[in-house]
Structure formats: C-alpha cells, structure tokens
C-alpha cells in the first residue's frame, strides 16, 4: 500500500516527538550529531585508530570481566576451583576466561602503542596537555588493574608474582612499607589480600577507568584530532582560517526547526 506525503510526515512527526523531547531537555541529540558529524583532518592515518583500538580492548575486558565475576569466588579455599570450573565446565567459559586473560595484555600493549603514537606525532602539545595527563592516569590505573587481577586465580604463579610486586612496592622511600601493608591488608598475604585485590580490581579501578576514559574522550572531541606531523595542515603551518561550529548543537538547544534558542 502506497503512503501519501501527508501520512509520511505524520509518521515522521510521531517518531521525532520523543527525540525533540529529549533534545529540549538535555541537548543530547545536538551533542551526538556534533560527535558524529564533526570535522577531522582529511589525512588521518591508521596510527590514529590506536586510541579506539585501546577503547575496544577495554570494553572487551569490562564485558568478559562481568561474566567471570558471576562465577568467580574471591576466597582462598574456592578461588582456584572456581577458575577451573569456569575453564572446564561452563559453556564457552574457556573462551571468556581466555579473552579476559589475553585481553589484559592486549589492552596494556595497545595503550603503550597509542601513547607512543601520541608522543611521536607531538599530539600532547598545546592545547592537549590535559588529554595527555589523563592518559598518564589511565596508563597507571590500567597497569594496577593488571596487577590486582593477576592474584585472583590464586595459583602458585599468582601468589608469588604478588609477593614480588608487594615487596617491590615495599622498597619505595618513606611510603614503601605503608603501601605494602595496605596492599596486603595485614602482615601476610591471605584471605584479606584476595578480597582486597578483588574489590579494587572489580570496583575501584574500573570505576576510575570509565570516568577517566569519558573525560579523555570528551577532550578528544572538544579539541579535535591532530593531523600527522607531515600533513600540510599540521600545527605550526600556515592554513586557511577555520570556521568553528563545534559547540553549536550543545549551546543552542531548542525545538527542531526553531533554529535554536534566541
Ligand atoms: C584506556 C586507555 C586509553 C583510551 C581508551 C584512549 C582513547 C583515545 C582515543 C579514542 C583517542 C582519539 C583517537 C586517537 O588519537 O587514537 C585518544 C587520543 C589521545 N590520547 Fe588516548 N586513550 C587512552 C590512553 C592514553 C594514554 C596512556 C595517553 C598518554 C599518556 C593518551 C593520550 C592521548 C592524547 C594526547 C590524545 C589526543 C591525540 C590527538 O588529538 O591526536 N591516551 N585517546
């Protein structure tokens, strides 16, 4: 059955009503439009996909981690068995665990490669210093996430690697012994250490990572992406004046077609 233009515009209006409702109250639609249609340099390279690759690795870790947490038991008497159960008995358990275990290394390696790209392209310079500083925090938290996760299987490798890690922290000047006590949760590695590492690994660091990645990406979108150093439009070279339309959708919310707030 053919639809008339009048019918089509009625359907369109009905579909757009919730979108308009949301836009008037939040400016979210303008924000998403700005995100999707913003200008980026025309000569971007594959090296500039490393940030998104890192983000993808992080999301894979978050999803597989949530699944593992449904079966893992953070107790010295059952931690190892629960990991064996996940690997040997659960449907696709070996895959989810393998993705999480290997994905941790992939995440860290990608983070370093992304940081190397940012450094070699000089993308940390004005006005992106804050993006870099947040990146430094992400790198630190990311590695601490790997350290706390390593103990969880509670096998010989996990135990002794953690002994070494905690002892290294203990050699730090002034705060060293204090730090290793906090990490151990007592004078010896035991149930309290495992519970502590689990909580930090599951709640504290992922929360921090999510928040900081959000801030990192906000700055990436707000400041725009840099051109490669060899580009004709790279920073420091003469280029035609740019028209800045970046914030339009966010600062001029209003009903669709009204042309924004006046
Ligand atoms: C969880 C870790 C991280 C995620 C998910 C992430 C994500 C991203 C994404 C998606 C971009 C835009 C695309 C790109 O340039 O590749 C970006 C840009 C940037 N990142 Fe990261 N990043 C992370 C860690 C880091 C680290 C460790 C540093 C440096 C210490 C860093 C510094 C920067 C800078 C300065 C930019 C702007 C680059 C430009 O404008 O060309 N990031 N990041």
Render pLDDT for 47-103 as a digit per residue (tens, 0 to 9). 999 999 999 999 999 999 999 999 999 999 999 999 999 999 999 999 999 999 999
pLDDT at 254: 59
Name the percent of the chain lying above pLDDT 90: 82
Q: What are phi and psi of 153, to 5 degrees?
A: -65, -15
Closest CA to 218 of 112, 130, 100: 130
Q: Is 141 in the pocket of ligand 1 (CB under 6 A)?
A: no
Q: Is 198 in the pocket of ligand 1 (CB under 6 A)?
A: no
Work out which ligand 1 atom sits closest to the CA atom of 51: 16
Please compute Rg for the chain using Cα positions. 24
Q: Is 228 in the pocket of ligand 1 (CB under 6 A)?
A: no
Query: What is the number of alpha carbons within 13 Å of residue 175 lying toward its C-beta?
Result: 4
Indicate the pLDDT class of residue 191, thresholds 50, 70 and 90: very high
pTM of structure: 0.86
Name the percent of the chain lying above pLDDT 70: 89
């Amino acid at each position: 059955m053919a639809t008339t233009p009048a019918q089509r515009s009625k359907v369109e209006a009905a579909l757009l009503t919730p979108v308009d409702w949301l836009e008037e109250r939040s400016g979210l639609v303008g924000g998403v439009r700005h995100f999707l249609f913003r200008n980026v340099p025309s000569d971007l390279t594959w090296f500039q996909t490393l940030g998104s690759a890192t983000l993808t690795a992080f999301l894979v870790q978050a999803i597989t981690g949530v699944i593992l947490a449904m079966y893992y038991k953070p107790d010295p008497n059952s931690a190892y068995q629960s990991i064996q159960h996940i690997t040997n008995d659960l449907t696709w358990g070996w895959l989810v665990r393998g993705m999480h275990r290997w994905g941790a290394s992939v995440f860290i390696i990608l983070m370093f490669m992304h940081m190397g790209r940012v450094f070699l392209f000089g993308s940390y310079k004005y006005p992106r210093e804050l993006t870099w500083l947040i990146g430094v925090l992400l790198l630190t938290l990311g590695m601490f996430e790997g350290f706390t996760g390593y103990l969880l299987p509670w096998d010989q490798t996990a135990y002794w690697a953690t002994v070494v890690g905690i002892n290294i922290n203990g050699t730090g000047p002034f705060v060293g012994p204090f730090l290793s006590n906090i990490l151990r949760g007592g004078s010896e590695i035991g149930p309290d250490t495992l519970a502590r590492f689990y909580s930090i690994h599951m709640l504290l660091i992922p929360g921090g990572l999510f928040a900081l990645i959000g801030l990192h990406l906000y700055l990436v979108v707000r400041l725009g992406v840099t051109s490669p150093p060899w580009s004709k439009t790279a920073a420091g070279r003469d280029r035609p004046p740019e028209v800045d339309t970046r914030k339009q959708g966010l600062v001029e919310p209003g009903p669709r077609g009204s042309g924004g707030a006046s």
